Each structure stands twice: as C-alpha cells, then as structure tokens.
A and B are shown apart, each in its own frame.
Chain A
Amino acid sequence: MTDPLLHIQRLRTSFKIKDDYYAAVDDVSLEVNKNEIVAIVGESGCGKSALAASITGLHNKERTKMDGRISFKNKDIANASINQLNQLRGSEIGMIFQDPLTALNPLMIIGEQIEETLMLHQKMSRQERKKRTVELLKEVGIPRAEQIYYQYPHQLSGGMRQRVVIAIAIANNPSLLIADEPTTALDVTIQSQILDLIRKLKDEMHAGIILITHDLGVVAEMADRVAVMYAGQIVEIAPVIELFDNPKHPYTRSLLQSVPSAFDKQERLYVIQGVVPPLPNLPREGCRFKSRIPWIPEEVHEKEPKMHEVGPGHFVRCTCYEDFHFIGEDGGMNHGAS
C-alpha cells in the first residue's frame, strides 16, 4: 500500500489551564489516505476540534504542548515553523470552518477574499486571478458569480457564505481538506447541497478529507471511515458500514441510541448518564468511559485500555465492549444526569 497522505502517530496535545497542562488530544493515531473521507465524531469536549487545530497548527503556541508525530506527505509538520505552516495552509491543506459568518472578513468583497489565498500561494497576474476566482465561485455552485464577486459577506445567505468559504479552501487544489462542522449552521436542504459539493471534491480532486461532525446522519452519508472520539482519545475506528452495522464500543452504541430518527419513531431516547468531564477533570487512568456506564462491573475494563482489532480495519479501545449491555428500562433510560 502507498503511504497515507496524513499520518498521525501518538499525538498528544495539551493546553495550559492556570499553571498546568491538560491533554485535550491524548495518544491519537490516525491515517487519512488520498481519496478518502474520514469522519471524526463525538460530543463537544471530546477533542475533535483540538485534533484539527493540531494538524493545522492553529492553536496558541505559547499555551500548548504537542508530542507525537504528524506527517503530511511523509514530512513532519508537528514541529514545522510558522513559515512552513503558512506555505501548507491554504494551499496543500484547506480548511472549512463551522460558522461562515465569522470565517469571512466582513469588510472585504468576496472576490478579494478568494484572491488573497491565490496571491499568497501562486504566481498569477491580476487578470488570471480574477478569472480563476470567478471560476471557483461557479465551481461551488454560486449563481451570478461575476456579480457576487463584488459583494460583501453580509449580502449573502448562510449557504452562499459557506460556499465562499469552501471556494477559498479549494482555491489552490489542496490534497488534504479539513472540514470542522461544515454544515452545522445550515438548513437541511442547504446542508445536502454543501455535502454534495464536498463529495465532489473527493471524487474530482481525489483529496483526503477529515470531516468533523456530531451529526451521525452526516457521517452515514459521507464517510468512508469513522473515528469516534471520547475524552481526547479515539475509542473506536471502523469503515462506515461496519461502524453503523456492528458498533462495539459502549460510547458508540450509546451515541447511536440517543439520536432521534426521522425515519421511525422511538418512544424514548437513550440518555448517556453523566456528562463529558471538563478538561482538567478528565479521567486519565483506565477506561475513560467507565464513569458513564457504572452498571458495568469494574473487572471487565482494562487497566490500560488498548486498541483491539475486532475486524478488518475495525479497532475498539478497552475490553469492556465484550460485556457491555444497556441498562434496563429504569436507571439509564430515565432522566440520566442531574
């Protein structure tokens, strides 16, 4: 097999809170290949966005410690300088952020914002840049591209703005695209159009894509592989069909049970007991999900949970999945945390 496009090995990213460092990403290893969409799922506080920020170096360097290796096209980028990162970001690595209103500059016309990234990474004449910008706007499905070029972000709807953000992300044909909750702020009809667009980037440019989301429907529609994160760690990773048909880790199974479905009607939704602990209080020893499934006996957890291979490309952390069962009608199914 060829080398993966992005290879993360034993990454630990710690943020400084008061005087101590706490790992928000704790021992994460992950590969992303060309022409592949890897989804990262989990609740807020699970470290999904911290992982994305580690790859792109978009965190406050003075308050962050990073260990481990991140190699992109076989080059280490975990210890890259700002200059090296600046060369990669926006050209080789594209980013799509959650909220298109804050990701765009309100005082600049759309055209200039897209041209800026072309100017930084490619040698083009002014005419060429403008031509390419209009092309890009058309590529992401913006009608009347020539007029939109001269408009400001506030003149566009949310879906249109997100298309502009995507146009900036793909302007230099990136080989890796990181999309952090790209459709969370959008309506379903717009969401499905944006997802189509991201899918097209994979099909036509064969980019590797990291899709960060909390929406399991979006995962099911988009991903080739799925990594489920809890408390800074990947607790389960599998090809998408395997993950939905045969989820193993208690956290994955709980998440799948707690989503209200538009396709059939459940009487009650499953509630995961407790909450994701805040960063300084994350359990660092043993199975991190233990406290949220207290009815599972202590012995079935591993002392130092490791990833176990349970099928082709399917890994699960901790042995507790073997003995996990949902709690009866009461207790867990009731109001849960309070």
Chain B
Amino acid sequence: MALLKLEDLHVHFPIRSGVFKRIVGHVKAVNGVSLELKSGETYGLVGESGSGKTTTGRAVIGLNEITSGKVFYAGKNLIEKKRTKELRREIQMIFQDPYSSLNPKKRVLDIIAEPLRNFESLTKQEEQKRVQQLLSQVGLSQKSIAKYPHEFSGGQRQRIGIARAIALQPKLIIADEPVSALDVSVQAQVLNFMKDLQKELNLTYLLISHDLGIIRHMCDRIGIMYKGRLVEEATAKEIYENPQHIYTKRLISSIPDIDPKNRGKMMALREEVKRDFDEKYNQYFDENGLAYDLKAIAADHFAALPGEGQ
C-alpha cells in the first residue's frame, strides 16, 4: 500500500480585487495532481518556480488549504477526517532556508524540544536526554544544546532543522529545497546525511527541488510539474535518459554539462529541443493550455502525451 497517495489534488488561490475585495478569479497553483509514494522511497518533485511543486508539498502537510481532491496517508483520507495528533506527528517538514526557519531567540534545546513538548509529556531530564540523542544522531556535539542558531554554520543549522523534523519519529518527511541555500560542499554533507538517516529510520522523502543534479542523486522516482500539473513521472534513470514529454526534454537538455568538451554538442541539442518545443508546444497541451492526463507508456513511466497517435 502506498504511504502517501494524492488523487486529483487541486489547490486554488483566490485573486481578490476592488474595494470590496471580491474574488475575481483563481490562481490554480495545483490543478489536478495524482501521485503515490511508496514507503521508504524518495520521490522527487521537480519544476520551475510557479509550477506548483511547493504548494503540493505544503498541501500535504496541511499548510495550504486543499480546494478539492483527496490525500490519503497510510490509507486514511486526510481531508475528510480531521488530522489526528497521531497523523500530524508522522508527517514532518524540512524547510529551505536554515537561516530563517530557526527562531534566533531560542536555544537549540528549545528549538528541537518544541515538537516534543507539543506531543509528549516528558520531564526536563527526559527531554534533555532525547534532545542530546537527536543531536548526536545529526552529528552535532552535546555542547550545542545551550547555543543559539547564529553560532552555527549553514550546514549545521540545516542539521538542527533536521533534528527537529525527526524528533517525533515521523514516517514521511517533506523536504522543500533543503540544500539550495548552502554551498556545494555543505550541500554534499547534508544530502549524504539525509540518505543515511533514511536508511536508519526507514523514512520516506518527498523531495522538492529545482536542482536536477540533486534530484538525480537522491530520488528513486521523479515527477515533473509544469503549470500546476504533472507532465511526466518515471524512475530517475528513465526521466534523465528517456524523457518523453516536450517540457521534460527541454528541462533535461537545459542542465549545464560538467564536461566542457561537450559544449558544442549540448548547444546543438538545446537548439533542436527548443525548436521542437516552440513548434510542438500546442500539441502537448489541451485547448485550455493544460497538460493532458498521465498515460502509461511503460511500466513505471507515465507521460502527459496527447491522445492516440500524435
């Protein structure tokens, strides 16, 4: 059974205008997304800014109100039922910016213990012991407990954020651009660490990122979002080596190649894909400019291709 299942998820934001703030329209940030996360896997959600990937993640954890559709977590519909305490502790989030997601006025102890205080009644000693355990789990020294966020480097702060996220032993972690504020070498540190932790605690990740190198490195399966809808979903290898949708092709071909000898080849490829994209764009989207529904084109490879034939 899937750990997380989205069925035709819609998140629309009202646009208000005029003196009376009447609703004059909607921004359809997420416009019919269905996907499934298996337990223990890392699912990457990719797309350009404004494609709805962050909104999807936030809707799952309950930070954005869902307009319509269903979200099942371990078989339970999160929308019909009120989120129980139990459910809320099982889904946690790692935020993008370790500089702004930690309260600068709180000590590390209070930051990491906050979820524990909300959900468990521990004595002071027990609480301190748990926090110390968590700190050593994320590779920070025991002395950190009385320090403030500004005393740590970016990578260390992100680890504090991770310690807070795993404090309640969650099963699903939504990581929204977890390393995009960090330097490459620190990035490597945090990514390796997230992988280790996943094995250790059998975590499932929904990883949201626009960095296609990171996505390739981390993910088992990938969903490509464009204008609020999924245009393609497949295993990481398939997406990078055999993209089918015109947008996926464009995206994959835009990744800078790390080998300067391929420069000419890449530029030619990009030009070709761009021409294709401009010419065939309309074929790949319906009359309202929306991507078609996903169709299976191989086991574990789905793409929003136009109807029968082309």
Contacts and interface: CB of A to CB of B under 8 A. Distances in A.
Interface stretch (A88-96, A262-270, A298-306, A309-317): A262-270
A189 B47 CA distance: 10
Contacts of B212: 188, 262
A266 B139 contact: no
Interface in A67-120: none
B202 interface: no
Interface string B237-271: 10010000000001110111111110100100010
Interface stretch (A17-25, A169-177, A252-260): A252-260
Given A217-B213, A260-B214, A265-B216, A275 B258 contact: no
B27 to A, nearest CB: 15
Interface of A: 43-44, 158, 187-192, 195, 214-218, 220-221, 223, 240-241, 244-245, 254-256, 258-263, 265-266, 268-272, 275-276, 335-338
A158 B217 CA distance: 27
A217 B257 contact: yes
Nearest to B215: A262
A271 B188 contact: yes
B260 to A, nearest CB: 4
Q: Across the A-B interface, give the 5 residue pairs with the lowest CB-CB distance, nearest first.
A: A217-B256, A260-B217, A269-B188, A187-B48, A338-B139
A220 B184 contact: no
B149 to A, nearest CB: 16
Contacts of A270: 188
Contacts of A275: 153, 155, 186
B68 interface: no
B156 interface: yes
Chain B interface size, under 10 / 10 to 19 / 20 to 34 / 35 or more: 35 or more
Contacts of B193: 335
Contact of A258 (B188, B196, B251, B255): B188
25 contacts: A43-B183, A189-B254, A190-B48, A191-B256, A192-B256, A192-B270, A221-B256, A241-B260, A258-B187, A259-B188, A259-B213, A260-B213, A260-B214, A260-B217, A261-B217, A262-B255, A263-B216, A263-B255, A265-B216, A265-B217, A269-B192, A271-B188, A272-B188, A275-B155, A335-B139
A260 B257 contact: no
A261 B250 contact: no
Nearest to B253: A192
B188 to A, nearest CB: 4
A266 B217 contact: yes
A269 B182 CA distance: 15
Contact of A271 (B141, B189, B211, B215): B189
Contacts of A44: 183
A269 B184 CA distance: 10
Given A188-B254, A215-B256, A335-B139, A262 B240 contact: yes
Most B CB atoms within 10 A — which of A214, A255, A336? A336
Nearest to A190: B48
Overall SS of chain A's interface: loop
Contacts of A336: 185, 189
A269 B191 contact: yes
Contact of A220 (B139, B141, B188, B256): B256
Contact of A188 (B184, B210, B240): B210
A272 B192 CA distance: 12
B140 interface: yes
Contacts of A263: 216, 240, 255, 257-258
Interface string B203-237: 00000001111111110000000000000000011
B49 interface: yes
A259 B270 contact: no
A100 B155 CA distance: 26
Contacts of A276: 183
Given A214-B184, A262-B240, A221 B251 contact: no
B258 A259 contact: yes
Contacts of A268: 192, 195
B184 A43 contact: yes
A203 to B, nearest CB: 12
A255 B185 contact: yes
B155 A337 contact: yes
Q: Which of B193, B196, B256 has the most CB of A within 10 A?
A: B256
B47 to A, nearest CB: 9
Contacts of B195: 268
Given A214-B183, A335-B139, A337-B155, A260 B191 contact: yes
